[in-house]
Amino acid sequence: MSQIRSLESFPLIIFDKADTDTLRYGYPLNETPIRPPLDNPEFAHWPPDMISTEGEPPFKCMAPNRKEEPPKGFAYPEAQTYIVQKDHRFQRGYVALANFDSSTKKEIMDRQLRLTTAPGTTNPPYRNGSFEPEPIACALQAYPGLPMAHTIDGDPQNIVTFFACHTLKSLEKSLKPEIYTSFESAMVDLACETWGCPETATRRARPPFFTHKGLKRNGRSPQNLPPGSHDGSYNLASTVGKGEGQGCVMPAFQIDTAEGTAQINRILQHLSFLGDIILRATLSRFEYEVTQFHSIDNNVFGFGGLRPYATGCQANVSSSTRNLAEAIGEGQGSWHPDKNDDYTRLTVAILLLRLPPGKENAALLK
């Protein structure tokens, strides 16, 4: 979708105080919005050379695990059954689909307000040198690289992507070789900037980013951490100034050393690059293109460069196998709502694990 327009292509609009029909942007006030051409392949499908050549997933259906009754007054998250379909609206070439019935919104909201963690989610058994997670009640196991989406009220053209998980192995199969090579290199650099790394022939040694003097945890992080602990959450890109109304969005610039500032800038640049590729591999083409257009057309600032991307970045640090709520705070490490999230955008979460020596191939987890 081209963002280059000549000045002559815009109509001259003279706004009148009482004339609301001349508003060029936003929803019309007195008519139904025009539906995008979602059934037009040139608009909604990725080009053939962008479609993964990995082939069909090894199953046709994704069903949730056994159901269990939650404690009285609570509800467990319950997954739907998803059917795998071939679909070139997604770069993977396939998608797992379930239907969302808009008449059940109140029921879903009521359940969300009563959520509690289902059995099997935490404290997996440790056997023969490895943690072996057991199936989580009412949940299903996602398949790396396969997007999951919902049709709206049974309309096959009106879909909203719900979730996808990716690994380096799954992305290597689905991305073009030249794109994956750049992706893997940036991911290795991100791990180096995050955890710290020794000096090599091509880079200087650097400490973990969270050890830089002056970096502050956000207000929801726990206050009773042991001495020397770096556990908690850090806003690296932007934050909201408190005290006046809803607060003003401002840069989260807390470090005044050149070394620390440069290291966090590199982290944000890597996250912007990696996150954009992840979103392309996750969203339908329409969802990806329309969010890009929205950011450009409305001059939404993003971190890590000039490309459209997220406005905020929260880095969570948790040591060992501590309960996440203890490490980063009850308000963000357990079930909670976030009214400031943009519900039209997916959150990109990148998980980096620092494993013991000898466990580099994730043998710690089975």
Residues 316 and 242 reside in one and the same domain: yes
Residues 150 and 218 reside in one and the same domain: no
Residues 326 and 189 reside in one and the same domain: yes
Other Cβ atoms less than 10 A from the Cβ of 37: the count is: 12
Q: What are phi and psi of 191, to 5 degrees?
A: -60, -40
Residues 113 and 229 reside in one and the same domain: no
Residues 198, 195: Cα–Cα separation, whole Å: 10
Q: Is residue 27 part of a domain?
A: yes
Residue 170 to residues 143, 173, 184, 303, Cα–Cα distance (Å): 9, 5, 12, 26
Instruction: Enter the tokens of residue 37.
Output: 């051409």
Per-residue confidence (pLDDT) for residue 28, from 0 to 100: 60
Per-residue confidence (pLDDT) for residue 1, from 0 to 100: 42
Residues 193 and 275 reside in one and the same domain: yes
**Which range of residues forms the domain containing residue 295?**
168-333
Residues 143 and 252 reside in one and the same domain: no
Per-residue confidence (pLDDT) for residue 266, from 0 to 100: 93
Residues 86 and 201 reside in one and the same domain: no
Residues 137, 65: Cα–Cα separation, whole Å: 6
Residues 180 and 310 reside in one and the same domain: yes
pLDDT tens-place values along the chain, 366 residues long: 444 444 444 444 444 444 455 545 555 667 776 777 777 888 899 999 999 999 999 999 999 999 899 999 999 999 999 999 999 999 999 999 999 999 999 999 999 889 998 988 877 888 887 778 888 999 999 999 999 999 999 999 999 999 999 999 999 999 999 999 999 999 999 999 999 999 888 888 999 999 998 888 888 888 888 888 888 888 888 766 555 444 555 555 567 788 888 999 999 999 999 999 999 999 999 999 988 888 888 888 888 888 888 888 989 998 866 677 777 887 777 887 777 777 778 899 999 988 776 655 555 555
Residues 207 and 263 reside in one and the same domain: yes
Q: Looking at the 3D structure of the chain, how many domains does it have?
A: 2
Last residue within a domain, chosen from 110, 137, 165 = 165
Instruction: Enter the tokens of residue 339.
Output: 């009214």
Last residue within a domain, chosen from 123, 149, 165 = 165
Residue 217 to residues 35, 220, 221, 264, 314, Cα–Cα distance (Å): 44, 8, 6, 14, 10
Q: Is residue 176 part of a domain?
A: yes
Last residue within a domain, chosen from 98, 131, 165 = 165
Residues 318 and 226 reside in one and the same domain: yes
Residue 193 to residues 188, 208, 211, 292, 318, Cα–Cα distance (Å): 9, 7, 11, 28, 16
Residues 208, 195: Cα–Cα separation, whole Å: 4
CA 192, 195, 198 angle in degrees (round to 5)? 60
Per-residue confidence (pLDDT) for residue 201, from 0 to 100: 85
Question: Residue 234 is inside which H or E element, if any?
Answer: strand 232-235
Per-residue confidence (pLDDT) for residue 8, from 0 to 100: 46
Residues 206 and 247 reside in one and the same domain: yes
Instruction: Enter the tokens of residue 191.
Output: 């791990």
